Amino acid sequence: MNKQKRIEILSRLRAQNPHPTTELEYSSPFELLIAVLLSAQATDVGVNKATKHLFPVARTPQAMLDLGVDGLKHYIKTIGLFNTKAENAIKTCRMLVELHGGKVPENREALEALPGVGRKTANVVLNTAFKWPTIAVDTHIFRVSNRTKLAPGKNVDEVEHKLLKVVPAEFKLDVHHWLILHGRYTCVARKPKCGSCLIEDLCEFKDKTE
């Protein structure tokens, strides 16, 4: 795919949604971090249902730590893998309190050192909470990048590297959100909705649907 085509794709996505953001509900970097940690192999809708009740009683790492693992499980038991997620979240809160003064660090290495936080979660927090031009690659972004040929790669790291290389600076801050939403609602896994796709004429997917 050539540079002009990529710019046109990104320009159309921007025109449709000039100020995209995550569908996870949060009001601080800490709440975003916990929401993203809980969202692995779960839907944003499911996470929001749980955090709607959790966050009012645990808005800070210390408050969540005070709930303890069992107390936290009570709030997140509707989310997949909630046992592991509760343990990781409590360990993360302890580290935030003990090492970072109860604040979410604006630092990739410090974020990735937190239990349950990998590169993708760190990228989401740095991008969404701190406005870094990072690109977190999830299953939606991986699929859209490969299917359209915007930034093909064999794994998420390759796709991330390619996106960082080919996406012009003016689009970097928001491209993560545009591609996730496009993959979630239009370029869906089983049968993409090519007929109602904003970028169908620019997409290089060979097996287009109606």
| DSSP notation for 55-81 | GGG--SHHHHHHHHHHHHHHHHTTSTT
Is 44 one of the annotated active-site residues of the chain?
no
Q: What is the DSSP letter of 113?
A: T
| Phi, psi of 197, deg, nearest 5 | -90, 135
Contact 175, 182 (CB under 8 A): no
Give the annotated binding-site residues. Answer: 187, 194, 197, 203
**How long, in residues, is the chain?**
210
Amino acid identity of residue 99, one-letter, is L
| d(C-alpha 66, C-alpha 85), whole Å | 16
Which position among 3, 5, 77, 138 bears the catalytic label?
138
Is 138 one of the annotated active-site residues of the chain?
yes
| d(C-alpha 124, C-alpha 135), whole Å | 7
Contact 29, 125 (CB under 8 A): yes
Give the annotated binding-site residues for [4Fe-4S] cluster. Answer: 187, 194, 197, 203
Q: Residue 59 corresponds to which tokens in the numbers above?
A: 């808005």
Amino acid identity of residue 49, one-letter, is K
Q: Residue 30 corresponds to which tokens in the numbers above?
A: 């800490």
Helix or strand holding residue 177 (H, E): helix 169-185
| d(C-alpha 170, C-alpha 16), whole Å | 16
Which position among 3, 66, 85, 120 bears the catalytic label?
120
The residues annotated as belonging to the active site are 120, 138
